[in-house]
Copies of this chain bind each other. A is one copy, B any other.
Amino acid sequence: MTLFQRFCRIFRVNPWLVRMLIVFTVSGGCVLAFSEAKQENGMTSDSSEADSKKKKVVVLGTGWAGINFLKNLKNPSYDVQVISPRNYFAFTPLLPSVTCGTLEPRSIIEPVRNIVRKKNVNIHYWEAECFNIDAENKKVYCRSNIAGNLNEKEEIDVDYDYLVIAIGAPANTFNIPGVAENCHFLKELEDAQKIRRTVIDCFERASLPNLSDDERKRILHFVVVGGGPTGVEFSAGLHDYVKEDLVRLYPKVKEAVKITLLEATDHILNMFDKRITAYAEEKFQSDGIDVKTGAMVVKVSDKEILVKNGGRISTMPYGMVVWATGIGTRPVIRDFMKQIGQDNRRALATDEWLRVEGCDGIYALGDCATINQRRVMEDISDIFRKADKDNSGTLTVKEFQEVLDDIRERYPQVALYFKNKRMRTLVDLLNNSKGDAVKGSVEVNLEQFKSALSQVDSQMKNLPATAQVAAQQGSYLADCFNRMEKCERNPEGPLRFRGEGRHRFHPFRYKYLGQFAALGGEQTAAQFPGDWVSIGRISQWLWYSLYTSKLESWRSRASVISDWTRRFIFGRDSSCI
C-alpha cells in the first residue's frame, strides 16, 4: 500500500477529518485572500479619457469568450466598449451546484467592472442588449434591459472598427412543442436559481395534506433531458441534495421521489471515454437514478412528457423538467446571418482566425460561432502550385517537405492525418495511398497528389461548444489584437496558398486540457489529454481545487470554499427563496 493510498484510507475511515481539512482550508484561504486584497487595494485605476484616434472595439457579451478577450487585451491603443445584459461573468461549470443549494449564486460570479477596472486599456461597460448588427455601416444597436425595474426603454447605437461577437447561445428546444413553456433550462444563473426554488416548491407541494399518492409521485418526479455533462451533473447533484438533506426535512414524502435522466443516444456522457460512461451508468443505477437511453422527447405538456423510445411512445407524469440538451441561436445572430447570407446555419461561420466570413472587422467566438475549416481538396491545386517551386508540374520530396509545416498549420486536418497514420514525409504519404502508379516514385503530379490527400478532409472536426473552447478563443483573439500592428509588419502565420505572402497570425488552435463530470457522492470522473482517466474521490479533490483556482477573484474563491465548507458542516439550505 503506497503512502498516498494510506492517506486516502485515513480520510475514508474518518469522514470528519475531511470536514476539518475543509475548515482549515477556508481559514487559510481567507488569510491568503486578505493579503491579496490588500495588494489589489494598493493599485489605483488611472483610466484616461477616450482618445478619438484609437480604434474602436465593441465586445458583445461577457461570458467565457468575451471576458477572456477582455482579460488578455493589453494593448492600450484600443478604445473598448463592452455591451452585455449581464454586468457580471458567471463561472458556468459550477452552475449545477447552484441549482442544489451547494453554492450561492453570487459566489460564482464576478462583476465585469471589477475585472476590467485595473487594466491599462480604456474599457467601458454598458448594461444593454444588442438587438441589431449593421455590418454595412459598422454600427450595433442596443437597448438597455433595465426596463423591468425602471420602466424605461433606451436605445443606443455604437460605432465600431472591430466588432467581437461573443454572446453565446440559448438552449435549443428543437421546436419540440411545450419545451419552451414547461421546461427549465440551465444556461444562466437565473435559471439555476429558478430550478432551486422549483425543487423546494415541489417538495412543499408534495407535503400538502390533500393529495393522492399518484399526484404526490407526479410532483416529485424530476426529469432531466440530456445526458451530457450538464444533465449528468444536475441529476447527480439533485440526487445528493435529496438524499443528504431533503429527506431529513420531508421524511413523509421521501419514498415518492424519483429522478429520470433521458438521453437520445445509446449512452450518457458519450463525449467521454467509455470507462467513464460505464462507471456513470452503473453509479446512477445503484443510486436509483433512472437512466433511459435512446429516448426522444416528442412533446411536453404542463404535467406530462411524451417520450418515444424505440418506436413506442410513452407518457411520463412529471413535477419538473430540466432541459439540458443542445444549443440554439439567438435572434440577433439569426438576423445578422440573414443579412450576410449565412441563412440556415445554427451559428456564425468564421475562418480559422475567428473572422466572420464575408464581413470586415467582425469576429465571432464562443457558442455563437463555429469555425468553418477550409477543405484541403478545395485548395489542392493552389497548394500544389505553391509547393512546386520550379514549376515542373511534379512535386519532389524536398519541395513537399518545405511547405509541409505551412500546410499542417493552415489545414489542421493534415497534421491530424499525418499523426494518426504515423507519417512524416511525402514518401510515407505516397506509400500510404493505394494508387499503384505512385508507389516507389519520388515525384508526384497534381492528380497523384490529389489522390494521396483525398482522405485528409475526413479528419475535420467541429469544436465542442464548451467553456474551454470559448475561453481559449477569447485569449487567442486578445493576443492577436495585442500584436495587430507588429504582425501586420511581420506576418507570423502560414503561407497563403491562394494569395501571396503569409497570414498575419497563426490560426486558432484548440488545446484540449481535459474535462470533468461530477457524478455525485464525492465521486467525479476526469478525462485528460492522452486518454488519462480518473474516477472517484481523488478526481473530486482535483475538481475542487482546479475549479477554485480557475475562479475570477479571491473573493469568489473564498466564497466558494466557504459555501462548500458550510454544506459539509451544515448541509444545504432548503428555504424557497
Binding site for B on A (CB under 8 A): 16, 19-20, 23, 26-27, 30-31, 33-34, 37-38, 45, 47, 86-88, 104-106, 109-111, 113-114, 117, 124-128, 144, 146, 149-152, 154, 156, 189-190, 194, 197-198, 200-202, 204-205, 207-210, 219, 248-251, 302, 319, 553-555, 558-559, 562, 565-566, 569-570, 573-577
Residues of B contacting A555 with CB < 8 Å? 566, 569-570, 573
Task: List 5 additional contacts besides A113-B574, A555-B566; criterion CB under 8 Å.
Answer: A33-B570, A87-B576, A126-B204, A127-B204, A190-B577
Contact A150–B114 (Cβ < 8 Å): no
Residues of B contacting A319 with CB < 8 Å? 150
A45 touching B251 in the complex, CB below 8 Å, given contacts A88-B575, A205-B127: yes
Closest CB in chain B relative to A302 CB, distance in Å = 6
Contact A16–B30 (Cβ < 8 Å): no
Residues of B contacting A30 with CB < 8 Å? 23, 26-27, 565, 569
- From B128, B208, B570, contact of A144 by CB (8 A): B208
Contact B576–A127 (Cβ < 8 Å): yes
The residue in chain B whose Cβ has the minimal distance to the Cβ of A553 is: B570
Assembly of this chain: how many copies? 2
The residue in chain B whose Cβ has the minimal distance to the Cβ of A104 is: B104
Contact B45–A19 (Cβ < 8 Å): no
- From B37, B105, B197, B200, contact of A569 by CB (8 A): B37
The residue in chain B whose Cβ has the minimal distance to the Cβ of A40 is: B570
Residues of B contacting A86 with CB < 8 Å? 575-576
Contact A208–B126 (Cβ < 8 Å): yes
Contact A113–B570 (Cβ < 8 Å): no
Residues of B contacting A200 with CB < 8 Å? 87
A573 touching B117 in the complex, CB below 8 Å, given contacts A19-B34, A154-B210, A208-B144: no
Closest CB in chain B relative to A54 CB, distance in Å = 16
In the docked arrangement, what's the CA distance between A205 and B148, Å? 12
Closest CB in chain B relative to A419 CB, distance in Å = 44
The residue in chain B whose Cβ has the minimal distance to the Cβ of A22 is: B30
Contact A207–B34 (Cβ < 8 Å): no
Closest CB in chain B relative to A84 CB, distance in Å = 11
Identify the 4 closest CB pairs spanning chains A and B, nearest first. Answer: A88-B575, A555-B570, A127-B204, A27-B27
Q: List 21 A-B contacts (CB under 8 A).
A: A16-B38, A26-B26, A27-B27, A45-B248, A86-B575, A88-B576, A109-B573, A127-B201, A128-B208, A149-B194, A149-B198, A150-B202, A150-B205, A154-B205, A154-B208, A156-B208, A553-B570, A554-B570, A555-B569, A558-B566, A562-B562
